[in-house]
Structure 1
Amino acid sequence: MALEHRLADEAAALAAALAEPLGAVGDDRLRDLIGMIGSVRRLVDAVGVRIAGELARRCDEGALAVRWGERSAAAVLAVEAGLDPAEAQDWCEVGAQVVPRLSLAGEDLSPRRPVIAEAVERAELTMRSLSRIARTVDEVECRASGRGESIAPVLLAEAVRLAPRELARLCRFAIDRADPDGVPIREEEQRRRAGVQVSHLPDGMLRWIVTMDPESAGFLTAALDARTAPRREPRFAVDDALEDEPTEGGTRTLAHRRLDALVSIASESLRHDPGNVAGTAVTMVVTVSLDALRTGLGAAEIAGIDATISAATARRLAAQAEIVPVVLGGASEPLDLGRSARLFSAAQRRALGLRDGGCAWWGCTAPPGWCEIAHVDPWARGGPTDLDNAILLCPFHHRRFDLDRWTLEVVEGERWLVPPSWVDARRTPRRAGRARPTGRVAA
């Protein structure tokens, strides 16, 4: 069925469903309405991309935007459709890649990116995801000619089941994989753009705007997570007078707690620094392949940081910092404890942090330092303290997993969280864990 017909039918179905007062619908029906809204939104994006592509073609060939009094097709779209300029630009960029083209002789040509054009017709992805994939394909093609088209189907297939942030990480990995020699260059460019801007506000407060490269972010994120993790609730004070000062309403936002953590880090550094900077660097978990570590070529990852660092930087960090090995296990540090212990070891926590990437609940962004280790099969009912029986969850989702009686299923090596029937009558599985780059991305 054509996109426009699908849009008309699903919009009509949504309008009919909304005829009933929302307060009278059941939980399952409300879930259906949310799904219908998402489907209509994706169809609107798909139809909008095609219209934007045709608009961009006419603006390029006949200066239509200038005749309408605007500078570009994106400006026309922003004004006429009431879109944010950045969103309008995304529509035009993707549209230009998926609309049919004309040769100089007037013959019909296939779209520039036929695989992305097919994805638009399926209306499975939002505009944001399509735009990110289109730009990634262009960059991969620019850095490794001929590989852009081969990576596009892989990214499109993965995007259907990934959250936007996870898709962004996958796209960055695809670029690094296509051009491993360019990782140090991109890393150096990020360092040049990094820095701290300090503004003095009229009311006497200071505003710091911190833009960090991945390496810098790794150190600061590790330090902040250690001091702001839920349930630890440390108290920070510059002096004894502040220690007794009550917080507003007894609670503080995450932004307040991060500021407290930064002040605490600075205060502690000043109290213990004898006049020089020494000691062991802040512990970070750096994931890097053995070949990359040996050769210094390729990319590495810092746990909790989305962007990659170069293998050369990973080697430098390994020389100056306390190392937490990525490949854990062996006689000295067993990962599977069976029934010999109820609590998971520090080695297992590190392994889970690498495997799950943080809270394994779909869409949750809690980092590993904020999470707890849950037994999938409870220890009290005979469940072993092994990695296969463990899952990393933030405190909220740990409670939901235990109290609501969710289950975990493994299908072809992938783990899926399955809700109970009273939460979701269809018991639709949700993918567990963060997206990790796999062999599928090396298309």
Structure 2
Amino acid sequence: MTDLLTPVMSSDWDSDASWKLSRYEEVGGYRAMRKALDMQAGDVMSLVKESGLRGRGGAGFPTGLKWSLVPQDNPNPKYLVVNADESEPGTCKDMPLLMASPHTLVEGIIISSYAIGANTAFIYIRGEVLHIVRRLQQAVEEARAAGYLGANVLGTGFDLNIIVHAGAGAYICGEETALLDSLEGRRGQPRLRPPFPAVAGLYASPTVINNVESIASVPSILDNGIAWFQSMGTEKSKGMTLYSLSGHVKRAGQFEAPLGVTLRQLLELAGGVRNGHQLKFFTPGGSSTPILTGDHLDVPLDYEGMAAAGTMLGTKALQVFDETTSVVRTTLRWVEFYKHESCGKCTPCREGTWWLVQLLMRFEAGTAEPGDVDKLLDICENIGGRSFCALADGAVAAVVSAVKYFREEFEQGYTTPAWELFPYGKSALFATEGDPR
């Protein structure tokens, strides 16, 4: 089963000082950058477009196509913004990548900026991960000292400056237009579109916003070619990606594998669900993606496979829960998060998530009344699709999918507290003293 893994971005994570420029160059780092700078910018963009690389941040929009939407005749400066505001519950792929190999991102930024004609790039990262902020800043300075950044990069006439910007820790700033408002010094709130960022983004100028993994995938494509990249993945979901497994598994962690792998295969790599237990449900891409159950173990984890199953690939954050877990409790915790992180701009999201929490607390306490499940779904119907961004849709997805697969468990909340049906200590990852597990 280990042959299933395709370590590319993660291939050097276990090396000593893998984050250093010297080590990165030893394993071929910045070779792709040199190759790209010898090409025409349009040819670099076409190569990425033809490769089939799709955004690794959630939506799966074709990366090269996104770049091509930037109007080259616009007189304003063009910007590249890397979204490193990894905040989705259960998601933990970008931070390990930046910790172990920040130069992979820096090289990807140089290539991507050259392709779209940007001379300034921003990395927007969560301020709480101070150790990674410092590591990124160190990598940028190393690249600058080596002549890979600044004026006239490697004598090519191309100028590029990378700015590492630490955000204030708002989940909403993971939404690309809220991120832009935050970068401009305003409160992070989503913008009404159009205009889209490609036309009027940062400082009302053409802007490309990509996820960390999307940009970090670019150097390997330039270095190894389209055929190599397309040899992995499925017909419409090409290449390799980072899957994050957490929860009730024996060996949680990052697994870099081709798109289209199944959870059953990844669970085998992770040693399976913890001893004596079985899979109950899982998130395919973080808490904002509709949950799936054990019936979906063999569904391909790619964009098309997940869509066919009624969910999304999202950030590929596979949170695994066994039969000791209360779906009611889990859904409540997720919705509490979305209520807390709602920016408050849109009434359906601001008020709706508050009401969802009130109802879910009743289910958890066993004080819900007959008909409250339908009331829960009715509130969801009045929230989803009625806000500027997808935060509200994520809250709704958590609730609707939970009721879809475990309605009876919610209905038990009419009479019985969830903690009696599913003692919460039993679902803890680590056994407490005296626990027979």
Shorter-chain TM-score bucket reads under 0.3
Q: Report which structure shows greater RCO (CA 8 Å, sep ≥6).
A: 2
Which structure has the greater CA radius of gyration?
1
Name the one with the larger helix percent.
Answer: 1
Q: Could you tell me the TM-score, scaled by structure 1's length?
A: 0.24
